[in-house]
Amino acid sequence: MFGYIVQRILAAVPVMGFVALFVFLMLRLTPGDPAAIIAGDTATPEQLQRIREALGLNDPLHIQFITWIGNLFQGDFGTSVISGKPVIELIAARMEPTISLALTTIILSVLIAVPLGVIAAWKHGTLIDRFVMLISVLGFSVPVFVIGYLMISLFSMQLNWFPVQGFRPIGDGLGQFLHRIALPTFTLTLLYIALIARITRTSMLEILGDDYIRTARAKGLPERLVLMRHALRNCSVPIITVIGIGFALIISGVVVTESVFNLPGLGRLTVDAVLARDYPVIQAVILLASLIYVVINLLIDIAYVLLDPRIRYS
């Protein structure tokens, strides 16, 4: 296992290198001049030249890339060309809303979706099964921003139960935190409930017809133990995969949800940086998202062994 983990970490190095090169070239070769954006429309050619020299934009591309990579190895992600603040500080300030939204969404989705999927597979072909599939279809079909605006219209504007937008850190009190994060969490939860419940149902249906399930039932075990201890554990690999990927997707920045509910997360930071062509911020956020995917995939592979003893890595 340890050797496999080391191999996966080493394999991630060229992947991250390719991502870094791709992001660097993509941003540098697209039309637009960040110096002109910083200086404004009334800037003189001399002012633009000074800004380009300060940012290193006049250097050849390979020199810019080598300088940037060297700074990364020193823990320097650069300075925002718009705000003038270190990029690492901007990202750190935006992490809490995104992580909070990701954790609350995944926890609520798993607590609801996994039992729904198990029940749907157990009651296959019944009204309960059709109801769960209807929820899945609606969750996949309706865009997230539509669900978000419907939530705001019903629970904020008509019932006045929740605020329309904004975020409160958990340090301000658990009640205030949950009150602000509830609507965006419910909005994303509908999507992930649909995904996780559908995968759980499909995986359970493949398992419930196996011989060891019939043997467990023949022994007189309660149906709850048959479903949860024998069936669910043996079909947990695809379920944990979906949960892990879903968590990585959310924490990488759900732009639409953060925009609808005005959450100051990584998604909003990315949008603002793209519109302003803030190269250092865009590069750092994309690299962070890539690193999150690599780490999540590694944790998923490790979880396979813990959940299914039949899986072994050489």
Is position 183 within any domain?
A: yes
The model's confidence at residue 158, banded by pLDDT at 50, 70 and 90, is confident
Angle at 118 between CA 114 and CA 123, to 5 degrees: 145
d(CA 48, CA 29): 18
Question: Is there a single domain that holds both residue 161 and residue 299?
Answer: yes
In a domain, 260, yes or no: yes
**Residue-number span of the structural domain to which 26 is assigned:** 2-73
Q: Say yes or no to pLDDT of 187 above 80.
A: yes
Distance, CA of 241 to CA of 226 (rounded, Å): 22
Asked if residue 252 and residue 178 are part of one domain, the reply reads: yes
pLDDT digits (tens, 9 = 90+) for 93-119: 888 888 888 888 888 888 988 888 888
> What's the pLDDT score for residue 55?
66
Higher pLDDT, 84 or 177: 177
Residue 2 pLDDT class (50, 70, 90 cuts): low
Question: What is the pLDDT, as a whole number, of residue 32?
Answer: 62
Last residue of a domain, one of 15, 40, 73: 73
Here the tokens at position 50 are 């000074």
Contact indicator for 219, 206 with CB cutoff of 8 Å: no
pLDDT > 70? residue 273:
yes
Average pLDDT for 3-16? 75
- Is 200 in contact with 109 (CB distance < 8 Å)? no
Whether residue 185 is found in the same domain as residue 302: yes
Count of the separate structural domains present in the chain: 2
Same domain for 59 and 95? no
Residue type, 203: S
How far apart are the C-alpha atoms of 81 and 277, rounded to whole Å? 9
Distance CA 248, CA 215 (A): 38
Rounded mean pLDDT of 268-296? 80
Looking at the structure, do residues 52 and 95 belong to the same domain, yes or no?
no
The C-alpha atoms of residue 229 and residue 236 are separated, in whole angstroms, by 11
pLDDT higher than 70, residue 167:
yes
Return d(Cα 128, Cα 39) in angstroms, integer. Answer: 61
CATH number at residue 231: 1.10.3720.10
Residues 97 and 121 occupy one common structural domain? yes
Q: Mean pLDDT over residues 263-288, rounded?
A: 80
Same domain, 92 and 210: yes
Cβ contacts of residue 85 below 8 Å, gap of 6+?
Answer: 79
Give residue 41's pLDDT band: very low, low, confident or very high (50, 70, 90).
Answer: low
What pLDDT does 258 receive? 80
What per-residue confidence (pLDDT) applies to 54?
Answer: 65
- Is the same domain home to 61 and 98? no
Q: What is the pLDDT of residue 212?
A: 74
Nearest by Cα to 124 from 11, 194, 207, 48: 207
Maximal CA-CA distance, the chain: 86
**Which of 21-30, 78-87, 89-98, 179-188 shows the lowest mean pLDDT across its residues?**
21-30
Tell me, what's the pLDDT at 94? Answer: 84
**pTM for the whole structure:** 0.76
| Inside any domain, residue 60 | yes
Give 79's strand partners.
86
Contacts of 293 (CB under 8 A, 6+ apart): 248, 252
